[in-house]
Structure 1
Amino acid sequence: MGERRAMVLLLPGQGAQHLRMAAGLYGAEPVFTAAMDEVFDTVEAYAQGEGERLRADWLTDRPAVDLDCVTRSQPLLFAVDHALGRLVVSWGSRPDVLLGHSIGELAAAVLARIFTLRDATRLVLDRIRLLADGPTGGMLAVAASVREVEPFLAGDVVVGAVNAPRQTVLAGPDPALELTHKALTEHEFTCRRLPSLSPFHSPVLAPAVAGSERAIAALPVSPAALTMHSCYTARPLTAREAGDPGYWAAQPVAPVLFWPALDAVLTGRDAVLVEAGPGQTLAQLARRHPAVRAGTSVVVPLLPARPGPPERDRDSVAAARESLAEHGIIGARTR
């Protein structure tokens, strides 16, 4: 029998959100439910009524506030990623590496015990308070390399994420982003607007988040209990970076280097890549990696690729748990 593959937890970010994401697990999976309630209770403690409104918008098909709005997408993605990570850990295995995309990296920081859940939730609330007054815009996924899209960058439109060799995300304010979209389409590039009402990972957000370092500096930071790989440096997160308020404050502005980070994680290591978040965006990207195509590493998403009835969430998690047991990541479930 070969060596155990490493377990790498992938935590998705902005753009992965959808109505009732992972809601089928609420009330059915005690660990997940408790972790979600802890976030809602913390939000409620900081902003009376907001925790209950956030929970209500998550659990309904008709939220009062659009889930693509920063005040919903960011805290709910953070909460769902963290709760799913806690669920996986409860099955009896510690992740060898945490790799979070965008807001997913903050959920990873809680799982790694760099921040407490309460402090990280406070950080998220401060961030969305600042971003809510920032410029509107969005993100555009383009099936092309960075080099191919560079000639089309204009009007504050920048590369916001490198998700794969031919999957680049552009970010910027409207109408500049829409003009870039039109130009790329005219040149026969395949493009898709991502669900976001803010130009995440674009310098145009820098003025909005200016001053956030002060709030972050007031939060206690602990040494990481688990290895985190940064999607902003494509390297393991260092103790210096973890303790630097500027590192966390820059996240909404800095580009996400998911593919270079994933490539570094899989260099010299066979892994089971577990996507702990809504949808299967990161799983689909990871399946393009040569190590996965060769079969030395495998991908196990926790949730379905598309929204569906509550039982689909539960069935998908049950199947993922069985798959992790088959790969020797966790013990077989006793019945």
Structure 2
Amino acid sequence: AVAPEAEGVTRFPPPEGDDLARYATTQAALEGEAFVIGAPSSHRLDDTLAHAFEEMPDVTEVVAQHPRHGPLRLVEAAHLLRNSAQAHPLRVGFAAATFADLRRKIATAREALRAEPGKRAIFARKGIFVGTAEIEGKTAFLFPGQGSQYIDMCRDLAEKYRVVRETFAEADEILHPILDRRLTDLIFTDPTMGKEERKAAEEALRQTEITQPAMLTADVAILRLLAEHGIHPDVVAGHSLGEYAACVAAGVMSFPDALRAVAVRGSAMGSIKGVGDPGKMASISAPEEKVAPILAEIPGYLAIANKNSYGQTVIAGESAAVDAAVKRFMALRIPAVPLSVSNAFHTRLVASATTPVREFLRKIPISPPRIPVIANVTARPYPTGPDAPGQIAELLTKQIVSSVEFIRSVEAMYEAGARIFIEVGPKRALTGFVENILSGREFLAIPTNHPKKGGVLQFSEALAALSANRYPLDWKTATPAPGNTLYTESFRTMKEPAPLREETTMKRSADDVTPVHRPLDPTVPEVSPPPSEQAPVPPASSIAATGGGSKTRSLLDLFGCLIDDEILALLDDAEFLPYLEAQQEVIRSFLKASFRQHKTFFARLTAEMGVDAARPVHSPEAPARIEDHPLPQAAPPVAEPRRGEEAQISAPVVPSSAVPSVEEGRPAPTVTPPVQHAHPERREAPAAPASPPPAAAAPAAPRSPMEAMRAPVGEIPPEWIGADFEKVKNAILPM
């Protein structure tokens, strides 16, 4: 049934302990795999499928018992079956999510194999691909743009495939100085989110400043994953924003530069909001030839923004004009749907965004393309001569206010010999456009990612379709083995994956620190005012903080107890001060809110115990120092964050009314973050000046609970002896 070389099953290491149960509950969707089975004839292929159907267990478990090979994962079964497919002229391919799904797909594949060749397209719609000959022609990659994004896009791919995970970690590191947060925090959601929270996350992702770098990252992640399987383009094009991913694929610009470029592009477009009429857009189910004459009859500014296919044209322009156009098309029984966008993109209404984009593109390295890139504006290949960098930058700038010539772009690629069109990015909008544009001709259009099917299963189906049509995939990288580098370690071992942020080092030099109010262009640093205009900063010892009636303390005295050797060492790290500046509001809120909660707690405790918390402390006169102030109870030791990670400071859960706000016009001072000591009781206090012993030992004054908290470990405060602890417990538990 299978070739001799496939008899030896290669395996991943078996899961340990409870890893299998946890994985099966939370990550079973990662098991989707591409299956490709080949044979020299349809009769032999049908026999092979029948034998595989009989052997494969009809279960949904992640690890199933195979009659000949014992415990088997789906990825190991896929490798077993497809090992010999490349050598045979007749192949059938499909993707399966479980062993039970595999049996269903095998049964359907046998039906497709027996069907007439003209009817096999119906089975292709079901994800069953039968290939009898290699599709001769070039491979075109098409990159989708804004509008195809969705929450959690590529998340499952990032959990399964190493290169996707690394791409998102790279984007996090590059964009953190620009967005002031991780991109993945905006794309990947918490599975426990409620409906309203998820809706808010979707709305946030629709903001053009976020959408554009998010889509580019998803496009490039899938581009790199295809390359891991030996799939490379001969020609590329992108739809609007997708043209930047095409530039990365063709070597026109690096991924980091492309990310920064689309961040500038998104910021420039987002800044147009609220300036005059932002305009509207609408999708018209008709070709350009039918749409243009109707637009000419409507007063106001209107333009054709996207020429997507012979069945869809997108219009844009002034809001009133677009509304009137939608009514006119509907009256003519031509479907017209207003689009949920912030501006009338690809029209003169967004012309103000071209200046910052042009200026940024002139600053980054742009190279002539290694493979043809079809421009949105001209539907012709990028220039390749010595003046190519400047000309490409101008094409990308003009694209903002020009129509997307997608029909002509696809026609140009087909005329140049492209027959395989792969949509490299989320959803399948471009695949549908290609099917409309090239209807009646020989071609293969394949999507690689869609939320309805799941990222892993849809990508696996794309691999199956290509391999069934005799595309020379490199399956060696997918061989299940302990040293495999295609898959993530968590997928190979079924161990719980580490958070993606752990792979983001955030290593930046001091010169690359992002100001809170950064300029639109991330390459232009903020200019500090000349010394004469800078406010003088007094030394720490002279800055007074008022508190406790007439008492004053210098900041150094107040917060000196927080400084230890580790904090002193951090002061030499160029990243520490920028981190401190970014966290200052969190730290202030933590100190103020936790101290108020601390006081409230002990006030209630004191009331229950009948001890006066406000009783003054009778002690020898000594210079004012931090030890005179009651300290909150030390928290348990906090594990030291990994090198390069941001430390997480969490404020206690307190009522909103307990969190003080910063008074208007009175900014709170920046302070050093608190440090948790593993053994706070061993911390030595500064020695008090020597004073003569008292003539007679005075009886110790009763201490308040706050004072008692600072007693040496093991000492029982005498005020607490004999207290009604049942009453105290009942007072504490509700708090």
Specify the alignment match of 2:14 in structure 1: none
Q: 1: CA distance between counterparts of 2:470 and 2:437?
A: 22
The one-letter amino acid of 1:59's match is F
Which of 244, 250, 255 is equivalent to 1:106?
A: 244
Change over 3 Å in CA distance of 1:138–1:91 after alignment to 2: farther
Match of 2:331 in 1: 186
For residue 141 of structure 1, the aligned residue among 283, 303, 324 is 283
Q: Residues 194, 78 of structure 1: CA spacing in aligned structure 2 closer, same or farther, 3 A cutoff?
A: farther
1-structure distance, mates of 2:255, 2:290: 40
Map 1:80-229 to 2 at 5 A: 80-135=218-273, 136-150=278-292, 151-152=294-295, 154-229=299-374
Give the conservation status (yes or no) of the 8 Å contact 1:325–1:332.
Answer: no
Higher relative contact order (CA 8 A, sep 6+): 1
State which structure, 1 or 2, has the greater radius of gyration over its C-alpha atoms: 2
Q: Is the 8 A contact 2:218 2:425 kept in 1?
A: yes
**Cα deviation digits, residues 180-238 of structure 1 (max 9, x gap):** 22222122111223342221111110123334322211111122122211222111111
After superposition, residues 259-270 of structure 1 pair within 5 angstroms as 259-267=407-415, 269-270=417-418
Q: Per-residue displacement from partner, 1:13-64 (whole Å, max 9, x unpaired)?
A: 1222223333332222211221122122111133432xx1x32221123417
Distance 1:137 1:84, change over 3 A: farther
List per-residue Cα deviations over 1:76-104 (Å, max 9, x = no partner): 11111121111112211320111111010
Gap regions ≥5 residues in structure 2: 1-132, 190-197, 480-735
Matches of 1:315 and 1:2, distance apart in 2: 24
In structure 1, stretches of 5+ residues that fail to align are none
Q: How many residues align?
A: 326
Q: Is the 8 A contact 2:377 2:398 kept in 1?
A: no
**1:232 touches 1:255 (CA, 8 Å); kept in 2?**
yes
* Deviation of 1:115 (Å): 0.8
SS in 1 for 2:467: helix
Cα pair 1:91 1:330 within 8 Å, conserved: no
Kept in 2, the 8 Å contact 1:15–1:194? The answer is no
Asked if 2 retains the 8 angstrom alpha-carbon contact of 1:201 and 1:251, the reply is yes
CA–CA distance in 1 between the matches of 2:211 and 2:279? 15
> Identity of counterpart residues, as a percentage?
23
Structure 2 counterpart of 1:299: 445
3-state DSSP class of the match of 2:400? Answer: coil
Q: Is the 8 A contact 1:65 1:72 kept in 2?
A: no
The residue identity in structure 1 corresponding to 2:337 is: R
Which residue type is aligned with residue 218 of structure 2?
Answer: V
Distance 1:113 1:268 in 2: 20
Structure-2 separation of matches of 1:241 and 1:220: 11
Q: Tell me if 1:26 matches 2:158.
A: yes
Counterpart contact for 1:68–1:197, Cα < 8 Å: no
Going from structure 1 to structure 2, the CA distance change for 1:184 and 1:217 (only over 3 Å counts) comes to same
Under a length normalisation based on structure 1, what TM-score does the superposition of the two structures give? 0.89
Change (3 A) 1:192 1:252: same
Residue of structure 2 equivalent to 1:35: 167
Q: Does 1:329 align with 2:461?
A: no
How well do the aligned residues superpose, as a CA RMSD in angstroms? 2.1
Q: Judge conservation of contact 1:157–1:171 (CA < 8 Å) in 2.
A: yes
Contact 1:5/1:271, CA 8 A, preserved across alignment: yes
What is the rounded CA distance, in whole Å, between the counterparts of 2:462 and 2:177 in structure 1? 34
Identify if the C-alpha distance between structure 1 residues 156 and 41 changes in structure 2 by more than 3 Å, giving closer, same or farther: farther
Deviation sequence 1:120-154 (CA, Å, 0-9, x none): 11111111221112153342111112232222254
Contact 1:322 1:332 in 2 (8 A): no
Query: Which residue identity is paired with 1:323?
Result: A
Q: Tell me, what secondary structure is at the counterpart of 2:322?
A: helix
Correspondence for 1:59? 188
Give the deviation of 1:160 after TM superposition.
0.3
Q: Which amino acid aligns with 1:86?
A: R
| Partner residue in 1 for 2:137 | 5
Report the CA distance between 1:242 and its aligned residue.
Answer: 4.4
Output the CA distance in 2 between the equivalents of 1:137 and 1:330. 47
Segment of structure 1 superposing worse, 93-102 or 132-141: 132-141
